[in-house]
Amino acid sequence: MAVAAPLKPSLNLDSASAKTLLRHWPNDLDPRLLLDPRSTLKLALYEQINQKLMEWKDPGLPPYRPGPSHWPAILGNNRFVLIAGGERGGKSRFAAQEMVARATQRRLEGHRQARYWFAAHKYRLTEVEFNATQELFRALGALPDHLPKTNAYVRKPQDHSWSMRLGGDWEGIEIETATVDDPTNIAAVPLDGVVICEAALCDHEVWLKFRARVAERLGFVILTGTHERARGQWYKQLQLQWQNPGQEGVSFSFPTWENFEIFPGGWADPEIIRIREGVDEDWFMERFAGVPVKPTSLVFRQFEPHVHVQEAVQFRPQRTRYIWRGDPPALEPRELELREDWPVELAVDPGNADYAILAIQRTTDRHGRPLVYVIDEVFGRNEDTAGLIEKCRRRPWWGAIERQYPGVIDVAAKQRTGGIPVQRVWREVSGLNLRARKVMVDDGINKLRAFLSDFAAKAAMDGEGKPLYPRQRDWARLFVSPRCRRLIEEFQLMRFPSSQDPTEWRDPERGYDHGIKALWYFLVDRYPQMGRETRAEGYGVLKFG
Protein backbone atom coordinates (compact mmCIF):
# COMPACT_ATOMS: atom_id res chain seq x y z
CA MET A 1 0.00 0.00 0.00
CA ALA A 2 1.39 3.41 -0.94
CA VAL A 3 1.82 6.12 1.65
CA ALA A 4 -1.70 7.41 2.08
CA ALA A 5 -2.69 11.05 1.99
CA PRO A 6 -4.33 12.24 5.19
CA LEU A 7 -8.04 11.45 5.34
CA LYS A 8 -8.70 15.15 5.95
CA PRO A 9 -5.95 17.07 4.08
CA SER A 10 -5.36 20.80 4.23
CA LEU A 11 -5.69 23.04 1.17
CA ASN A 12 -2.59 24.81 -0.12
CA LEU A 13 -3.82 27.53 -2.46
CA ASP A 14 -0.28 28.44 -3.50
CA SER A 15 0.53 25.00 -4.89
CA ALA A 16 0.63 24.30 -8.62
CA SER A 17 -1.96 21.56 -8.17
CA ALA A 18 -4.41 24.00 -6.53
CA LYS A 19 -3.84 26.61 -9.23
CA THR A 20 -4.62 24.00 -11.88
CA LEU A 21 -7.76 22.97 -10.01
CA LEU A 22 -9.01 26.57 -9.64
CA ARG A 23 -7.94 27.85 -13.07
CA HIS A 24 -11.52 28.28 -14.29
CA TRP A 25 -13.09 29.41 -11.02
CA PRO A 26 -16.17 31.52 -11.95
CA ASN A 27 -16.18 35.12 -10.75
CA ASP A 28 -19.93 35.08 -10.08
CA LEU A 29 -19.90 31.98 -7.85
CA ASP A 30 -21.97 32.36 -4.68
CA PRO A 31 -19.36 32.73 -1.88
CA ARG A 32 -21.75 31.09 0.60
CA LEU A 33 -20.98 27.74 -1.05
CA LEU A 34 -17.51 27.85 0.52
CA LEU A 35 -18.94 28.10 4.04
CA ASP A 36 -19.87 24.41 3.93
CA PRO A 37 -17.01 22.32 5.40
CA ARG A 38 -17.80 19.61 2.84
CA SER A 39 -16.81 22.07 0.11
CA THR A 40 -13.46 22.87 1.67
CA LEU A 41 -12.83 19.13 2.15
CA LYS A 42 -13.48 18.55 -1.55
CA LEU A 43 -11.08 21.30 -2.58
CA ALA A 44 -8.37 19.90 -0.32
CA LEU A 45 -8.88 16.31 -1.56
CA TYR A 46 -8.89 17.37 -5.19
CA GLU A 47 -5.72 19.39 -4.69
CA GLN A 48 -4.01 16.37 -3.08
CA ILE A 49 -5.09 14.15 -5.97
CA ASN A 50 -3.90 16.70 -8.52
CA GLN A 51 -0.44 16.67 -6.93
CA LYS A 52 -0.10 12.95 -7.58
CA LEU A 53 -1.61 13.15 -11.07
CA MET A 54 0.87 15.88 -12.01
CA GLU A 55 3.66 13.51 -10.94
CA TRP A 56 2.23 10.58 -12.90
CA LYS A 57 1.71 12.61 -16.11
CA ASP A 58 -0.81 10.09 -17.37
CA PRO A 59 -2.49 11.59 -20.48
CA GLY A 60 -5.51 9.38 -19.83
CA LEU A 61 -6.10 10.98 -16.42
CA PRO A 62 -4.82 14.56 -16.32
CA PRO A 63 -5.12 16.80 -13.24
CA TYR A 64 -8.70 17.87 -12.58
CA ARG A 65 -9.53 21.25 -14.09
CA PRO A 66 -13.31 21.87 -13.81
CA GLY A 67 -15.00 24.39 -16.06
CA PRO A 68 -16.99 27.37 -14.72
CA SER A 69 -20.29 25.49 -15.06
CA HIS A 70 -18.97 22.61 -12.95
CA TRP A 71 -18.25 24.53 -9.76
CA PRO A 72 -21.83 25.07 -8.54
CA ALA A 73 -22.40 21.30 -8.86
CA ILE A 74 -19.11 20.49 -7.10
CA LEU A 75 -19.70 22.82 -4.16
CA GLY A 76 -23.46 22.36 -3.87
CA ASN A 77 -23.22 19.05 -1.95
CA ASN A 78 -26.83 18.12 -2.72
CA ARG A 79 -27.95 14.54 -2.06
CA PHE A 80 -29.62 14.22 -5.45
CA VAL A 81 -27.85 15.69 -8.46
CA LEU A 82 -28.54 15.41 -12.20
CA ILE A 83 -25.77 16.27 -14.65
CA ALA A 84 -26.82 16.64 -18.28
CA GLY A 85 -23.69 17.08 -20.33
CA GLY A 86 -22.60 17.58 -23.86
CA GLU A 87 -20.43 14.94 -25.46
CA ARG A 88 -17.09 14.77 -23.59
CA GLY A 89 -18.39 17.47 -21.24
CA GLY A 90 -16.68 16.05 -18.15
CA LYS A 91 -19.60 14.10 -16.67
CA SER A 92 -17.64 10.90 -16.02
CA ARG A 93 -14.73 12.69 -14.36
CA PHE A 94 -17.14 14.68 -12.19
CA ALA A 95 -18.85 11.43 -11.11
CA ALA A 96 -15.53 9.80 -10.18
CA GLN A 97 -14.32 12.85 -8.25
CA GLU A 98 -17.64 13.05 -6.41
CA MET A 99 -17.53 9.38 -5.50
CA VAL A 100 -14.11 9.87 -3.89
CA ALA A 101 -15.09 13.04 -2.04
CA ARG A 102 -18.46 11.79 -0.78
CA ALA A 103 -17.10 8.42 0.34
CA THR A 104 -14.35 10.24 2.25
CA GLN A 105 -16.83 12.66 3.80
CA ARG A 106 -19.07 9.83 5.00
CA ARG A 107 -16.05 8.07 6.49
CA LEU A 108 -15.23 11.24 8.44
CA GLU A 109 -18.85 11.30 9.65
CA GLY A 110 -18.36 7.86 11.20
CA HIS A 111 -19.59 5.43 8.53
CA ARG A 112 -17.06 2.61 8.99
CA GLN A 113 -18.73 0.25 6.51
CA ALA A 114 -20.10 1.73 3.31
CA ARG A 115 -21.31 0.40 -0.02
CA TYR A 116 -21.46 2.38 -3.27
CA TRP A 117 -22.54 1.51 -6.79
CA PHE A 118 -21.89 2.69 -10.32
CA ALA A 119 -25.02 1.55 -12.17
CA ALA A 120 -25.97 1.71 -15.85
CA HIS A 121 -28.06 0.11 -18.56
CA LYS A 122 -25.06 -2.12 -19.40
CA TYR A 123 -21.93 -2.96 -17.41
CA ARG A 124 -19.63 -1.41 -20.00
CA LEU A 125 -21.22 2.02 -19.47
CA THR A 126 -19.81 2.10 -15.93
CA GLU A 127 -16.22 1.24 -16.83
CA VAL A 128 -14.90 4.77 -17.42
CA GLU A 129 -16.21 6.04 -14.07
CA PHE A 130 -15.02 2.94 -12.19
CA ASN A 131 -11.51 3.07 -13.67
CA ALA A 132 -11.18 6.79 -12.95
CA THR A 133 -12.36 6.28 -9.35
CA GLN A 134 -9.82 3.48 -8.91
CA GLU A 135 -6.97 5.75 -10.03
CA LEU A 136 -8.14 8.65 -7.86
CA PHE A 137 -8.21 6.44 -4.77
CA ARG A 138 -4.80 5.05 -5.74
CA ALA A 139 -3.53 8.65 -5.84
CA LEU A 140 -4.74 9.06 -2.25
CA GLY A 141 -3.10 5.81 -1.14
CA ALA A 142 -6.33 3.91 -0.58
CA LEU A 143 -5.19 1.32 -3.15
CA PRO A 144 -1.73 -0.15 -3.80
CA ASP A 145 0.52 1.43 -6.40
CA HIS A 146 1.64 -1.83 -7.97
CA LEU A 147 -0.67 -3.90 -10.17
CA PRO A 148 -0.08 -7.35 -8.56
CA LYS A 149 -1.06 -5.96 -5.18
CA THR A 150 -3.97 -4.03 -6.66
CA ASN A 151 -5.53 -7.28 -7.92
CA ALA A 152 -6.15 -8.26 -4.30
CA TYR A 153 -8.35 -5.20 -3.88
CA VAL A 154 -9.91 -4.74 -7.36
CA ARG A 155 -11.78 -7.36 -9.38
CA LYS A 156 -12.84 -6.86 -13.01
CA PRO A 157 -14.42 -10.04 -14.42
CA GLN A 158 -15.57 -9.76 -18.01
CA ASP A 159 -19.31 -9.07 -18.46
CA HIS A 160 -19.89 -9.18 -14.71
CA SER A 161 -19.92 -6.75 -11.82
CA TRP A 162 -16.61 -5.07 -11.04
CA SER A 163 -15.68 -4.27 -7.44
CA MET A 164 -12.99 -2.62 -5.35
CA ARG A 165 -12.29 -2.79 -1.61
CA LEU A 166 -10.34 0.14 -0.24
CA GLY A 167 -7.62 0.02 2.37
CA GLY A 168 -5.87 2.32 4.83
CA ASP A 169 -8.10 5.04 6.29
CA TRP A 170 -10.76 4.02 3.74
CA GLU A 171 -10.92 0.38 4.83
CA GLY A 172 -14.49 -0.93 4.91
CA ILE A 173 -15.57 0.97 1.76
CA GLU A 174 -16.73 -1.17 -1.17
CA ILE A 175 -17.52 0.14 -4.65
CA GLU A 176 -19.25 -2.03 -7.26
CA THR A 177 -20.77 -1.79 -10.72
CA ALA A 178 -24.30 -2.96 -11.46
CA THR A 179 -26.52 -3.37 -14.49
CA VAL A 180 -30.11 -2.11 -14.33
CA ASP A 181 -31.49 -3.27 -17.66
CA ASP A 182 -34.42 -4.73 -15.72
CA PRO A 183 -35.31 -2.36 -12.83
CA THR A 184 -37.25 -5.11 -11.04
CA ASN A 185 -33.98 -7.02 -10.52
CA ILE A 186 -32.22 -4.22 -8.63
CA ALA A 187 -31.08 -5.83 -5.40
CA ALA A 188 -32.96 -4.72 -2.31
CA VAL A 189 -29.82 -3.72 -0.39
CA PRO A 190 -29.21 -0.43 1.44
CA LEU A 191 -26.63 1.77 -0.27
CA ASP A 192 -24.63 4.78 0.83
CA GLY A 193 -24.52 6.24 -2.64
CA VAL A 194 -25.16 5.54 -6.33
CA VAL A 195 -23.96 7.06 -9.58
CA ILE A 196 -26.34 6.20 -12.44
CA CYS A 197 -24.19 6.43 -15.59
CA GLU A 198 -25.92 7.39 -18.86
CA ALA A 199 -29.11 7.63 -16.85
CA ALA A 200 -31.23 8.74 -19.81
CA LEU A 201 -30.82 5.25 -21.29
CA CYS A 202 -32.52 3.76 -18.22
CA ASP A 203 -36.18 3.62 -17.30
CA HIS A 204 -37.61 6.22 -14.92
CA GLU A 205 -38.17 3.37 -12.46
CA VAL A 206 -34.40 3.00 -12.04
CA TRP A 207 -34.13 6.44 -10.45
CA LEU A 208 -37.10 5.68 -8.19
CA LYS A 209 -35.61 2.33 -7.11
CA PHE A 210 -32.26 3.86 -6.19
CA ARG A 211 -33.98 6.74 -4.41
CA ALA A 212 -35.46 4.09 -2.14
CA ARG A 213 -32.18 2.16 -1.78
CA VAL A 214 -30.31 5.16 -0.31
CA ALA A 215 -33.12 6.26 2.01
CA GLU A 216 -32.09 4.08 4.97
CA ARG A 217 -28.55 5.49 5.09
CA LEU A 218 -29.43 9.01 3.84
CA GLY A 219 -27.15 8.38 0.89
CA PHE A 220 -26.76 10.24 -2.40
CA VAL A 221 -27.77 9.60 -6.00
CA ILE A 222 -25.97 11.26 -8.92
CA LEU A 223 -27.47 10.89 -12.39
CA THR A 224 -25.24 11.65 -15.39
CA GLY A 225 -25.86 11.43 -19.11
CA THR A 226 -26.76 13.09 -22.37
CA HIS A 227 -30.16 13.38 -24.04
CA GLU A 228 -29.09 11.25 -26.99
CA ARG A 229 -31.12 8.03 -27.42
CA ALA A 230 -33.00 8.82 -24.21
CA ARG A 231 -35.55 6.25 -23.07
CA GLY A 232 -38.65 8.41 -22.80
CA GLN A 233 -38.88 12.00 -21.60
CA TRP A 234 -38.35 11.44 -17.87
CA TYR A 235 -34.68 12.51 -17.78
CA LYS A 236 -35.37 15.74 -19.62
CA GLN A 237 -38.41 16.47 -17.45
CA LEU A 238 -36.46 15.73 -14.26
CA GLN A 239 -33.71 18.09 -15.37
CA LEU A 240 -36.22 20.87 -15.95
CA GLN A 241 -38.05 20.13 -12.69
CA TRP A 242 -34.85 20.20 -10.63
CA GLN A 243 -34.00 23.64 -11.99
CA ASN A 244 -36.82 25.01 -9.84
CA PRO A 245 -36.07 26.17 -6.29
CA GLY A 246 -37.28 23.97 -3.45
CA GLN A 247 -37.03 20.65 -5.31
CA GLU A 248 -35.62 17.44 -3.86
CA GLY A 249 -32.69 17.54 -6.26
CA VAL A 250 -30.74 19.97 -8.43
CA SER A 251 -29.68 19.76 -12.07
CA PHE A 252 -26.77 21.22 -14.00
CA SER A 253 -25.56 21.32 -17.60
CA PHE A 254 -21.90 20.63 -18.46
CA PRO A 255 -21.19 21.96 -21.98
CA THR A 256 -18.70 20.20 -24.20
CA TRP A 257 -16.56 23.30 -24.69
CA GLU A 258 -15.72 23.44 -20.97
CA ASN A 259 -13.62 20.30 -21.30
CA PHE A 260 -10.44 22.35 -21.70
CA GLU A 261 -8.22 19.27 -22.00
CA ILE A 262 -9.85 18.50 -25.35
CA PHE A 263 -11.03 21.98 -26.39
CA PRO A 264 -8.48 24.44 -24.92
CA GLY A 265 -10.17 27.39 -26.61
CA GLY A 266 -13.48 26.76 -24.87
CA TRP A 267 -16.45 28.35 -26.65
CA ALA A 268 -14.04 29.94 -29.14
CA ASP A 269 -12.19 26.70 -29.87
CA PRO A 270 -11.96 26.22 -33.67
CA GLU A 271 -13.53 22.75 -33.49
CA ILE A 272 -16.45 23.98 -31.39
CA ILE A 273 -16.99 26.82 -33.88
CA ARG A 274 -17.02 24.35 -36.78
CA ILE A 275 -19.56 22.15 -35.01
CA ARG A 276 -21.72 25.13 -34.09
CA GLU A 277 -21.79 26.48 -37.63
CA GLY A 278 -22.69 23.15 -39.19
CA VAL A 279 -25.68 21.95 -37.17
CA ASP A 280 -29.14 23.02 -36.09
CA GLU A 281 -29.20 25.19 -32.94
CA ASP A 282 -31.60 22.96 -31.00
CA TRP A 283 -29.56 19.87 -31.80
CA PHE A 284 -26.34 21.63 -30.81
CA MET A 285 -27.76 22.86 -27.49
CA GLU A 286 -29.03 19.43 -26.53
CA ARG A 287 -26.06 17.40 -27.84
CA PHE A 288 -23.16 19.70 -26.89
CA ALA A 289 -24.52 22.09 -24.23
CA GLY A 290 -26.56 19.57 -22.23
CA VAL A 291 -29.53 21.95 -22.34
CA PRO A 292 -32.86 20.21 -22.94
CA VAL A 293 -34.77 21.61 -25.87
CA LYS A 294 -38.39 22.09 -24.98
CA PRO A 295 -40.83 20.07 -27.10
CA THR A 296 -42.76 22.04 -29.71
CA SER A 297 -45.99 20.72 -28.18
CA LEU A 298 -45.32 22.62 -24.93
CA VAL A 299 -47.90 25.39 -24.58
CA PHE A 300 -45.70 27.85 -22.65
CA ARG A 301 -42.18 27.45 -24.03
CA GLN A 302 -41.47 31.00 -22.78
CA PHE A 303 -41.52 29.83 -19.15
CA GLU A 304 -37.99 29.69 -17.69
CA PRO A 305 -37.60 28.68 -14.03
CA HIS A 306 -34.44 30.77 -13.57
CA VAL A 307 -36.34 33.83 -14.82
CA HIS A 308 -39.91 33.45 -13.61
CA VAL A 309 -39.42 31.59 -10.30
CA GLN A 310 -37.93 34.01 -7.77
CA GLU A 311 -37.32 33.52 -4.04
CA ALA A 312 -38.10 37.20 -3.48
CA VAL A 313 -41.72 36.69 -4.59
CA GLN A 314 -43.57 36.38 -1.30
CA PHE A 315 -46.43 38.05 0.51
CA ARG A 316 -45.66 41.65 1.43
CA PRO A 317 -48.32 43.67 3.29
CA GLN A 318 -46.78 46.89 1.99
CA ARG A 319 -44.90 47.96 -1.10
CA THR A 320 -42.52 50.76 -1.95
CA ARG A 321 -43.75 53.12 -4.64
CA TYR A 322 -42.02 56.02 -6.35
CA ILE A 323 -43.98 59.11 -7.32
CA TRP A 324 -42.41 61.46 -9.83
CA ARG A 325 -41.82 65.01 -8.62
CA GLY A 326 -41.03 67.55 -11.29
CA ASP A 327 -41.66 67.38 -15.01
CA PRO A 328 -41.38 63.89 -16.56
CA PRO A 329 -39.14 65.16 -19.44
CA ALA A 330 -36.55 66.40 -16.94
CA LEU A 331 -33.14 64.79 -17.35
CA GLU A 332 -32.86 64.04 -13.62
CA PRO A 333 -36.38 63.78 -12.24
CA ARG A 334 -36.72 63.64 -8.49
CA GLU A 335 -38.64 60.78 -6.88
CA LEU A 336 -40.68 60.57 -3.70
CA GLU A 337 -40.65 57.15 -2.00
CA LEU A 338 -43.91 56.10 -0.32
CA ARG A 339 -45.01 53.02 1.61
CA GLU A 340 -48.58 51.90 1.09
CA ASP A 341 -50.84 48.89 1.60
CA TRP A 342 -50.47 46.20 -1.03
CA PRO A 343 -53.69 44.22 -1.48
CA VAL A 344 -53.95 40.57 -2.48
CA GLU A 345 -56.25 39.33 -5.24
CA LEU A 346 -57.38 35.77 -5.95
CA ALA A 347 -57.60 33.74 -9.14
CA VAL A 348 -59.79 30.64 -8.85
CA ASP A 349 -60.52 27.68 -11.12
CA PRO A 350 -62.93 25.26 -9.37
CA GLY A 351 -62.51 22.10 -11.46
CA ASN A 352 -64.65 19.02 -11.00
CA ALA A 353 -61.83 17.13 -9.27
CA ASP A 354 -58.90 19.55 -9.12
CA TYR A 355 -59.42 22.98 -7.58
CA ALA A 356 -56.88 25.81 -7.95
CA ILE A 357 -56.64 29.05 -5.95
CA LEU A 358 -53.81 31.52 -6.59
CA ALA A 359 -52.94 34.52 -4.41
CA ILE A 360 -51.61 37.45 -6.45
CA GLN A 361 -50.11 40.87 -5.83
CA ARG A 362 -49.53 43.41 -8.59
CA THR A 363 -47.54 46.56 -9.19
CA THR A 364 -45.86 48.42 -12.07
CA ASP A 365 -42.26 49.12 -12.96
CA ARG A 366 -40.68 52.56 -13.40
CA HIS A 367 -42.04 52.81 -16.92
CA GLY A 368 -45.60 51.85 -16.00
CA ARG A 369 -45.40 48.25 -17.22
CA PRO A 370 -47.63 45.96 -15.14
CA LEU A 371 -45.89 43.32 -13.04
CA VAL A 372 -47.75 40.34 -11.56
CA TYR A 373 -46.51 38.25 -8.63
CA VAL A 374 -48.09 34.88 -7.79
CA ILE A 375 -47.21 34.67 -4.11
CA ASP A 376 -49.00 31.45 -3.09
CA GLU A 377 -51.26 28.62 -4.23
CA VAL A 378 -53.90 26.42 -2.64
CA PHE A 379 -54.80 23.27 -4.58
CA GLY A 380 -57.42 20.74 -3.66
CA ARG A 381 -58.53 17.42 -5.08
CA ASN A 382 -62.11 16.29 -4.54
CA GLU A 383 -62.47 18.94 -1.81
CA ASP A 384 -65.43 21.24 -1.35
CA THR A 385 -65.23 24.99 -1.72
CA ALA A 386 -65.94 25.75 1.96
CA GLY A 387 -63.06 23.55 3.09
CA LEU A 388 -60.62 25.22 0.68
CA ILE A 389 -61.76 28.67 1.78
CA GLU A 390 -60.94 27.63 5.34
CA LYS A 391 -57.44 26.62 4.20
CA CYS A 392 -57.03 30.06 2.63
CA ARG A 393 -58.14 31.79 5.83
CA ARG A 394 -55.12 30.28 7.59
CA ARG A 395 -52.66 31.83 5.11
CA PRO A 396 -50.98 35.12 6.18
CA TRP A 397 -52.25 36.98 3.13
CA TRP A 398 -55.98 36.34 3.72
CA GLY A 399 -56.51 39.56 5.67
CA ALA A 400 -54.94 41.62 2.88
CA ILE A 401 -57.41 40.55 0.17
CA GLU A 402 -58.87 43.47 -1.74
CA ARG A 403 -62.56 43.68 -0.77
CA GLN A 404 -63.72 45.93 -3.60
CA TYR A 405 -62.09 43.67 -6.18
CA PRO A 406 -61.15 40.37 -4.52
CA GLY A 407 -60.37 38.51 -7.75
CA VAL A 408 -61.77 36.29 -10.50
CA ILE A 409 -63.27 32.84 -10.90
CA ASP A 410 -64.11 30.59 -13.86
CA VAL A 411 -67.34 31.68 -15.54
CA ALA A 412 -68.67 28.13 -15.06
CA ALA A 413 -68.82 28.88 -11.32
CA LYS A 414 -71.94 30.97 -11.97
CA GLN A 415 -73.86 27.89 -13.09
CA ARG A 416 -75.95 25.67 -10.85
CA THR A 417 -74.89 22.03 -11.30
CA GLY A 418 -76.96 20.07 -8.81
CA GLY A 419 -76.35 22.52 -5.97
CA ILE A 420 -75.47 26.10 -5.11
CA PRO A 421 -73.25 27.84 -7.73
CA VAL A 422 -69.62 27.95 -6.61
CA GLN A 423 -69.45 31.72 -7.09
CA ARG A 424 -72.32 32.09 -4.61
CA VAL A 425 -70.61 29.75 -2.12
CA TRP A 426 -67.56 32.01 -2.19
CA ARG A 427 -69.74 35.06 -1.58
CA GLU A 428 -71.69 33.50 1.29
CA VAL A 429 -68.82 31.69 3.06
CA SER A 430 -66.00 34.18 2.61
CA GLY A 431 -67.77 37.43 1.83
CA LEU A 432 -65.76 37.72 -1.41
CA ASN A 433 -67.65 38.47 -4.60
CA LEU A 434 -65.35 37.00 -7.25
CA ARG A 435 -65.86 38.29 -10.76
CA ALA A 436 -66.57 35.80 -13.58
CA ARG A 437 -66.30 36.39 -17.30
CA LYS A 438 -65.91 34.07 -20.27
CA VAL A 439 -62.33 33.76 -21.53
CA MET A 440 -61.56 31.97 -24.78
CA VAL A 441 -58.68 29.49 -24.58
CA ASP A 442 -56.60 31.19 -27.26
CA ASP A 443 -57.09 34.61 -25.60
CA GLY A 444 -55.95 33.20 -22.27
CA ILE A 445 -52.87 31.52 -23.74
CA ASN A 446 -51.80 34.59 -25.70
CA LYS A 447 -52.26 36.88 -22.71
CA LEU A 448 -50.23 34.61 -20.44
CA ARG A 449 -47.47 34.23 -23.03
CA ALA A 450 -47.22 38.02 -23.29
CA PHE A 451 -46.68 38.30 -19.54
CA LEU A 452 -44.03 35.56 -19.58
CA SER A 453 -42.02 37.39 -22.24
CA ASP A 454 -42.94 40.90 -23.31
CA PHE A 455 -41.92 41.30 -26.95
CA ALA A 456 -42.24 45.08 -26.77
CA ALA A 457 -39.83 45.19 -23.83
CA LYS A 458 -37.17 43.36 -25.85
CA ALA A 459 -37.25 46.06 -28.51
CA ALA A 460 -37.69 49.10 -26.22
CA MET A 461 -34.87 51.69 -26.39
CA ASP A 462 -34.12 54.77 -24.34
CA GLY A 463 -33.33 58.20 -25.74
CA GLU A 464 -29.72 57.22 -26.40
CA GLY A 465 -30.64 54.10 -28.34
CA LYS A 466 -29.71 51.71 -25.51
CA PRO A 467 -31.98 48.79 -24.56
CA LEU A 468 -34.47 49.82 -21.90
CA TYR A 469 -34.70 46.23 -20.68
CA PRO A 470 -31.31 44.57 -21.37
CA ARG A 471 -31.75 41.35 -19.36
CA GLN A 472 -34.00 38.39 -20.11
CA ARG A 473 -35.49 38.72 -16.62
CA ASP A 474 -36.55 42.27 -17.50
CA TRP A 475 -38.69 40.99 -20.36
CA ALA A 476 -40.88 39.03 -17.96
CA ARG A 477 -43.91 40.63 -16.32
CA LEU A 478 -45.02 37.54 -14.37
CA PHE A 479 -43.09 36.06 -11.45
CA VAL A 480 -43.93 33.04 -9.30
CA SER A 481 -42.97 32.10 -5.77
CA PRO A 482 -41.16 28.75 -5.31
CA ARG A 483 -44.06 27.88 -2.97
CA CYS A 484 -46.25 27.48 -6.06
CA ARG A 485 -44.89 24.06 -7.01
CA ARG A 486 -48.07 22.84 -8.69
CA LEU A 487 -48.35 25.94 -10.87
CA ILE A 488 -44.68 25.65 -11.87
CA GLU A 489 -45.25 22.00 -12.76
CA GLU A 490 -48.23 22.93 -14.94
CA PHE A 491 -46.12 25.42 -16.91
CA GLN A 492 -43.64 22.64 -17.66
CA LEU A 493 -46.18 19.93 -18.50
CA MET A 494 -49.11 21.62 -20.27
CA ARG A 495 -49.06 20.49 -23.90
CA PHE A 496 -50.93 20.58 -27.16
CA PRO A 497 -51.97 17.21 -28.63
CA SER A 498 -49.03 16.01 -30.73
CA SER A 499 -51.26 13.97 -33.04
CA GLN A 500 -52.79 17.01 -34.70
CA ASP A 501 -51.39 19.29 -37.39
CA PRO A 502 -49.19 21.82 -35.53
CA THR A 503 -50.11 24.55 -38.03
CA GLU A 504 -53.74 24.40 -36.91
CA TRP A 505 -55.08 25.69 -33.61
CA ARG A 506 -55.34 22.98 -30.97
CA ASP A 507 -56.80 23.20 -27.49
CA PRO A 508 -54.25 21.99 -24.90
CA GLU A 509 -54.54 18.54 -23.41
CA ARG A 510 -56.49 18.49 -20.17
CA GLY A 511 -54.98 17.57 -16.84
CA TYR A 512 -52.24 20.12 -16.10
CA ASP A 513 -54.21 23.31 -16.49
CA HIS A 514 -56.21 24.40 -13.44
CA GLY A 515 -53.68 26.82 -11.97
CA ILE A 516 -52.78 28.18 -15.40
CA LYS A 517 -56.44 28.69 -16.31
CA ALA A 518 -57.03 30.56 -13.06
CA LEU A 519 -54.06 32.75 -13.92
CA TRP A 520 -55.22 33.59 -17.42
CA TYR A 521 -58.74 34.37 -16.17
CA PHE A 522 -57.09 36.92 -13.90
CA LEU A 523 -54.81 38.44 -16.54
CA VAL A 524 -57.52 38.79 -19.17
CA ASP A 525 -59.87 40.36 -16.64
CA ARG A 526 -57.33 42.79 -15.15
CA TYR A 527 -55.52 43.64 -18.38
CA PRO A 528 -58.09 43.43 -21.20
CA GLN A 529 -55.74 45.53 -23.34
CA MET A 530 -52.02 44.93 -23.05
CA GLY A 531 -50.46 47.31 -20.56
CA ARG A 532 -53.80 48.67 -19.30
CA GLU A 533 -55.92 47.76 -16.30
CA THR A 534 -59.63 47.78 -15.59
CA ARG A 535 -59.01 50.45 -12.96
CA ALA A 536 -56.43 53.21 -12.98
CA GLU A 537 -53.17 52.83 -11.13
CA GLY A 538 -50.25 55.25 -11.03
CA TYR A 539 -46.56 54.81 -11.56
CA GLY A 540 -44.80 52.56 -9.08
CA VAL A 541 -42.28 49.84 -8.60
CA LEU A 542 -41.91 47.02 -6.12
CA LYS A 543 -38.60 47.29 -4.32
CA PHE A 544 -37.27 43.99 -3.00
CA GLY A 545 -34.88 43.82 -0.08
Q: How far is CA 470 from CA 307, 313, 476, in A?
A: 14, 21, 12
C-alpha 48/C-alpha 44 separation (Å) is: 6
Out of 242, 265, 293, a domain closes at: 293
| Number of domains making up the chain | 2
Identify the domain containing residue 463 by its residue range. 307-526
- Domain final residue pick, 293, 328, 347: 293
Predicted confidence at residue 465, as pLDDT, reads 67
- Phi first, then psi, for residue 339 (nearest 5°) are -110, 135
**Residue 35 lies inside a defined structural domain of this protein:** no
Final residue of a structural domain among 225, 258, 293? 293
Do 236 and 337 belong to one domain? no
- Could you say which residues of the chain have pLDDT below 50? 3, 326-334, 531-545
Q: How long a stretch of residues is the chain?
A: 545
3-state SS class at 372: strand
Element (H, E) at 397: none
Which residues are paired to 360 by β-bridges? 345, 374
Distance CA 246, CA 484 (A): 10
My answer on whether 372 and 333 are in the same domain is: yes
The span from the CA of 276 to the CA of 241, in Å, is 27
**Do 100 and 213 belong to one domain?**
yes
In this prediction, residue 72 carries a pLDDT of 92
pLDDT at position 460 is: 65
* 281 and 311 assigned to the same domain: no
What pLDDT score does 149 carry? 77
Find the CATH number of the domain harbouring 485.
3.30.420.280
- Work out the mean pLDDT of the chain and round it to a whole number: 84
Q: Write the DSSP string, 88-129.
A: TSSHHHHHHHHHHHHHHHHHHTT--SEEEEEEESSGGGGHHH
Q: Do 383 and 317 lie in a common domain?
A: yes
Q: Are residues 494 and 450 in the same domain?
A: yes
Shared domain for 321 and 266, answered yes or no, is no
How far apart CA 244 and CA 366 sit, in angstroms, is 28
Residues 253 and 374 in one domain: no
pLDDT tens digits along 488-511? 888 988 888 876 555 565 678 877
- Whether 153 and 143 have beta carbons less than 8 Å apart is answered as yes
- Do 254 and 221 lie in a common domain? yes
pLDDT at 435: 93
CATH number at residue 170: 3.40.50.300
* Domain assignment of residue 53, yes or no: no
Say what the pTM is: 0.69
CB 262 within 8 A of CB 275: no
Residue 5 inside a domain? The answer is no
Same domain, 200 and 279: yes
